[in-house]
Chains A and B, each alone.
Chain A
C-alpha cells in the first residue's frame, strides 16, 4: 500500500466548495482524507507546497492521442506522459483515429492501453456516427458501457441537422454529452487561415467566422428542439460567444470550451512567423476582437472550459508548404504555463476560475470523477508553481508532437507536481518513476 501523502502549506483553490486559502491536504488510499490547517503528517510523505497553488487535477476534455492508426504522431503512452508532466490528471481523447473510435471494441482497447500506461486517466470519446461518416448512428450505448464518456465526430461536425437531432434524442437515455466541432464545411473548404485582412495580405483563401457560427447556431437550435446535452468545442469567434451567451440566458443546457491558442494568438502570427505551419490550426487563429470576446466569455462564465485540442503531428506533416501542412497545435505541455502567465497572473481570470474551467467544469460536463478537493474525493491534484520561470522548448516535450507556435515563449508559472490517485506521477515537468 502506498504511503499517505501530505501536501503541506499550499494555497488550496477548490472551486467546488469556493475555498481559496492556505491549507494542508492529506491523501490516503488514493482519496482526499482531510483538508485543514496544520495536519500532523504521521508516516505520510510530505510535499512542501508553500508558495504553490493546489487545485483539483486538471482535466483536458479535448485531446487527440492518435492511437490507433497514427502512432507516428502520438500514442496513448506518449500522450499520457505529456499530460502528466503538463499538469493534467485526465484527458478525454477524440475518436478521429484509424479505425475511428466507433465501437465498444476499440473503446475498450483505448481504456486498456491507458490503464497499462497509468500516467493519467484517459476517457475515450466515441464517434457519434459509424466511421465518423455522418450517416448512421454508432453504437453509443455499447461504447458507453465500454468506457466512452461522451460522443463526437470531432475533426468534422455532426454532418446534418437531422443526424444531430437523432443523436441528441438517442443520447438522452445514456446521459452523455454530445461534443460538436462547429464548422460549415462548404464555407471553410480550401481555407487555410481566418478570412480577413491577413488572408488578403498573405494570399490565402480564408475561413470566415461564419463557417463556425452557422453550425453553432444550428446546434443551439437543435439542442433546443431536443433538450439534449450539447457541448460546443474549440469555439473561436466573437459571434459564437454571443450566440452561446444568449442560448444560456434562455436556459439551454449547453456548454462550450475554447483553447489556449485561441485565447492568446491571432492570425497576424501567420505573417509575423513567415508562414510558420505551426500557426495552421482548425478553427484558424482569429483576430483581436475574437480573442477579447473569448477572454470575456471565459471570465463571465459563457465559456465553461479551457481545452487544449492537443493535436500532435509528426514533423513531416508540418515541414511542408502551408497548404499541405496538417492542422493542429500540440497543447498538453504548454497549457498551464500559458494560462497562468498570460491570463491568471495579469488578473484576466482568477485561480478559482482557472480551476473551474480546467478541472471542475470538464469533470461535470463529462460526468467523470475529480474536479474537487472535497474529503472523500479521488486524490487527483495539480500543484502549480506560480513563480516557476521557463521557456517553451518543444524538444523537451514528452509528446511526440513538437508542433507549437509558442516555441521560445518565456513563461512565469508552470506545473510543479501532478498527483494521480494519491500518487505523484510528475514533478517539475519530469515523470516520477
Chain B
C-alpha cells in the first residue's frame, strides 16, 4: 500500500501505478453507495478535516460523505468563519488542527502550491482539493474513473477539453492524468485563456473548438469563470457562447458515441447549452457519483484502512 500516509498533491507527481490503484479501489468501494445502509466501519476512529479557503459545495460535500460512509469523523473549516478572518496564518491554523488529533487534512485554497506548503507544515497527510490554478487531483481521478465506466480504456482515447484552460486546475489534473494513461488530448479556448507552452504538456492546442471536437470520444467542457470577463479576457458571455460554447451543432463533429463531461457548476447557455448538458450522452451526474467513490478510495488508501 504505497499511498499510505502519503500526501496527494497533484497528478503530475503521481505515478500511473498509484492512479491505477486508486481507480481500482474506487471501483470496489463504489458498490457501498448503492447499499440501503451506506456505512462501513473501515475508517472508524479516524478524523478527516476539510479546510476550505475558497467556497465549494460539491467537492467538500463529496469528501465529507466519502469519509462518513466509511465511518470517519469529519470536521469542516470554512475560511469565512475561521481564524483566517482574524489574521491567523495557514500554518498556525493547520498546526492547531493537527495537535487536536486530525488524521488527514483536505484543503482547497485560491493560491497555487498551497497544498505543497501545507504538506511542509504538517506531519499528517495532505490531500489537495483544488489549489489556485494548479491542480485538482481527485477531480482528475474521478473524471478518468467516469470515462472508464463508459469507455473500455484510456489509451488511444481522443479527449477534447474546452474553455478556460489557463485558470483551470481541473484541466491541469485532467491533462496530466489522461496523458500519462495514453489519451490523445486536445484543448481549445479563447487565446487569452490558453496558457503558454501548453503543447509541451503533450496536448494539441487548437485555435477553434471545432478542431478539438472533431472525432473526439470525450468532450469535456470547463466552467467559464464569469469574473474573468471583467478583466478583459473575453469580450462578453454572448461572444464566448457563439465562438466557444458547446452546442449540438459543434457536438455533431465528435464521434457518434462521444460522451460529454463538465466539472460543475455549469453556466447553462454559456459554455454548454442545456440540450447538450441534459442529453443522454452527458455523464455529468455520473462524475459526481464517481467523485464520492474515488474520494473514499483516496481516504482509504491514505489512512490505511484495516491495519
Chain A residues in the interface with B (C-beta under 8 A): 192, 195-197, 199-206, 274-275, 277, 316, 319-324
Contact = CB atoms under 8 A, between A and B. Distances in A.
A201 B12 contact: yes
A191 to B, nearest CB: 12
Contacts of B56: none
B135 A203 contact: yes
Given A206-B196, A320-B91, 8 more contacts: A199-B195, A200-B198, A201-B172, A204-B134, A274-B113, A277-B117, A319-B91, A323-B112
B119 interface: yes
Nearest to B53: A321
Given A203-B112, A320-B90, A196 B197 contact: yes
A192 B132 CA distance: 12
Given A320-B90, A321-B114, A322-B113, A199 B131 contact: no
Contacts of A204: 112-113, 132-134
B200 A197 contact: yes
Interface in B152-198: 169, 172, 195-198
B90 A197 contact: no
A200 to B, nearest CB: 4
Nearest to A190: B231
B139 to A, nearest CB: 14
A321 B90 contact: yes
B83 interface: no
A322 B91 contact: no
Which of A197, A203, A204, A324 has the most C-beta atoms of chain B within 10 angstroms of its own C-beta?
A: A203
B177 to A, nearest CB: 14
A274 B196 contact: no
B116 interface: yes
A275 B195 contact: no
A321 B196 contact: no
A200 B194 CA distance: 9
A203 B132 contact: yes
Contacts of B114: 321-322
Given A199-B195, A203-B135, A321-B113, A274 B169 contact: no
Nearest to A204: B112
A202 B115 CA distance: 12
A205 B134 CA distance: 10
12 contacts: A192-B112, A200-B197, A202-B134, A203-B113, A203-B172, A204-B132, A274-B113, A274-B120, A319-B89, A319-B91, A320-B117, A322-B114
Contacts of A205: 133
B201 interface: yes
Contact of B196 (A192, A195, A275, A324): A195
B52 to A, nearest CB: 14
B148 interface: no
B109 interface: yes
Contacts of A324: 111
Given A202-B112, A206-B196, A274 B201 contact: no
Nearest to B120: A274
Nearest to B134: A203
Interface in B105-135: 109, 111-114, 116-117, 119-120, 131-135
A275 B197 contact: no
A292 B32 CA distance: 57
B117 A322 contact: yes
Nearest to B198: A200
Contacts of B131: 203
A316 B89 CA distance: 9
Contacts of A322: 111-114, 117
A91 to B, nearest CB: 32
A200 B175 CA distance: 12
Contacts of A274: 113, 116, 119-120
A181 B116 CA distance: 31
A203 B117 CA distance: 15
Contacts of A199: 195-196
Contacts of A316: 89
A203 B133 contact: yes
A402 to B, nearest CB: 15
Given A203-B132, A274-B116, A321 B109 contact: yes
B106 to A, nearest CB: 16
Contact of A321 (B12, B117, B198): B117
Contacts of A192: 112
A275 B116 contact: yes
Contacts of B90: 320-321
B199 to A, nearest CB: 10
Contact of B113 (A195, A197, A275): A275
Contacts of A203: 112-113, 131-135, 169, 172
A287 to B, nearest CB: 10
Contacts of A202: 112-113, 134
Given A202-B134, A203-B112, A320 B89 contact: yes
A321 B134 contact: no
A298 B201 CA distance: 33
B111 A200 contact: no
Which of A196, A199, A205, A322 has the most C-beta atoms of chain B within 10 angstroms of its own C-beta?
A: A322
A132 B184 CA distance: 52
Contacts of B172: 201, 203
Contacts of A323: 111-112, 132
Nearest to A321: B111
Contacts of A277: 117
Contact of B117 (A195, A201, A206, A275): A275
Contacts of B113: 202-204, 274-275, 321-322
A346 to B, nearest CB: 29
Nearest to A208: B196
Contacts of A206: 196
A205 B120 CA distance: 23
Nearest to B7: A274
Nearest to B89: A320
A187 to B, nearest CB: 13
